A and B are shown apart, each in its own frame.
Chain A
Amino acid sequence: MAIKDYIRERFFPHIWCPGCGHGMVLNALLRAFEDLAISKNEIVMVSGIGCSARISGYVDVHTLHTIHGRALAFATGVKMSRPELNLIVPMGDGDALAIGGNHFIHAARRNIDITAIVMNNRIYGMTGGQYSPLSGYGTLATTAPFINIDHAFDVVELAKAAGATFVARTTTYHVKQMSELFKEAILREGFSVIEVLTQCPTYFGRKNKAGSAVDMVKSFKDNTTPVGSKAKLESPGLIERGIFVQKDLPEYTREYDKVIERAMKKR
């Protein structure tokens, strides 16, 4: 199928601002679907609230647009009742790690087969540019007009520590890598986290004088390096991208099936 067959064309042009990175995540995800030749019936996309969460409205698969921070909880319910389906949960950084932080760590801990995508633009786009737990020390936001003194989470380290069995990072500059990571995450069993560094030119960009969308995408190229590269040793400030964790552990819904079996035998 062509990528246009995976979208709800009637809702285009989409609502995202010119140059918003969320559209690039959508684009890469559609390419992943196309490459996998996956049927629309096999995919369930669940999102919460945020500019990022609007993505579920545009994709013509089974979709649930739920409440802020709770997408993973809804997705867990869907997966428990229909474990044969592929669950994809795209979230903003606020959605995933501010209000939704608790759901995030526990979904990772359980290793439930869900592909979690953190569309990290380091700000609350939808509500007007408040800082998020990923904005980072020294940034500016509507709610930090003088300076933000909160330190940022490292999504990769957090996901690793919480027990995710696939953890990766990429950026909107690296669109081919993004599609490849999405494909791997969809195909494998277990909780997968892909952090995508993405641009919100309207709020993060303007507040932090980061320039245009083009400038922000360029900065992802300039400020990142493949994981384990020599460049990181020479310039420790570079952000690594690639796959950080890839391991096999029993998946939650399969384990739950075994619990059901045991319970039935005892009857």
Chain B
Amino acid sequence: MAKPKLKEHHINRDWCKGCGICVEFCPKKVLELDKQDKVVAVHFTNCICCKLCELRCPDLAIEIETEL
């Protein structure tokens, strides 16, 4: 199977509550919280599109879009 390629991290800043769960459990340390405690995909080039952030977010605030 071809590796999925990242298109974009969709982050809903209105829904994100800054709990840090996606940040902590991202295997590639792609994500960080900004000054307003909202998540940002700082190191997006390292993302392996495992979608663990998306699956664990308690607030449905982060979504990984991949190239088809």
Interface residues of A (CB under 8 A from B): 3-4, 7, 12-14, 16-24, 26-28, 30-31, 172, 175-176, 179, 212-214, 217-218
Contacts and interface: CB of A to CB of B under 8 A. Distances in A.
Contacts, number: 65
Contact of B18 (A7, A18, A21, A179): A18
Interface of B: 14-15, 17-21, 24-25, 52, 55-61
A23 B18 CA distance: 13
Contacts of A13: 14-15, 17, 59, 61
Query: Which DSSP category, helix, strand, loop or mixed, fits chain A's interface?
Result: helix
A213 B19 contact: yes
A22 B61 CA distance: 14
Contacts of B20: 19, 212-214
* Most chain A beta-carbon contacts within 10 A, residue among B14, B19, B61: B19
15 contacts: A3-B60, A12-B60, A13-B17, A16-B58, A16-B59, A18-B17, A18-B18, A18-B19, A19-B20, A179-B55, A213-B21, A214-B19, A214-B20, A214-B24, A218-B24
Nearest to A17: B17
A264 B14 CA distance: 58
Contacts of B57: 23-24, 27
A218 B19 CA distance: 13
